[in-house]
Amino acid sequence: SVRGSLSLERACRAWALLDGRDYVTPVDVERLFLPVVMHRIVFTPSFVATAREIGWTEAAERLREQCLELAPRPGADLEAPVVAAVET
C-alpha cells in the first residue's frame, strides 16, 4: 500500500538521521522492512498458524523472501518469472 511504503520511507529517513546521515542506504531499507511491514499487515489465520508452528522470526523471514520475489531488489534479474501471489 502507499501508506505502507510511506511508513517505510519515513522510518528509513529517521534511522539514517539517527545514524548521522542525511541519506538512506539499501541496508537501512532491508533492516527496517520487516518491522514496518509486520506492523502493517493483517495476517491470515493460516499464516498465524504457521508462525506459531515455526516461530514468528522464521515466518517473518519467509514473508520477506516472498515479498522480494514479487518486488525484487533493484539490479535483480528482471527477466526472471514473476510469482503470481504470495502463499502463506
Rounded to whole angstroms, the Cα distance separating 45 from 73 reads 29
Residues 60, 83: one domain?
yes
What pTM, to 2 d.p., does this model score?
0.66
Summarised one tens digit per residue, pLDDT across range 28-71 is 998 999 999 888 888 999 999 999 999 999 999 999 888 888 87
What confidence tens digit (pLDDT) does each residue in 15-34 have?
Answer: 999 999 999 998 899 899 99
14 and 54, same domain (yes or no) = no
Query: What's the CA gap between 70 and 85, in Å, rounded?
Result: 8
**Residue 75, pLDDT above cutoff 80:** no
Confidence of residue 1 (pLDDT cuts 50, 70, 90): low
Structural domain of 53: 43-88
Q: Are residues 22 and 56 in the same domain?
A: no
Q: What is the pLDDT of residue 48?
A: 93
Sort 12 into a burial class: Cβ within 10 Å, 0-12 / 13-18 / 19+. Answer: buried
Shared domain for 21 and 61, answered yes or no, is no
32 in the same domain as 3: yes
Question: Do 88 and 47 fall within a single domain?
Answer: yes
In this structure, are 34 and 59 located in the same domain?
Answer: no
H-type helices in the chain, by residue range?
Answer: 2-18, 26-40, 45-54, 56-70
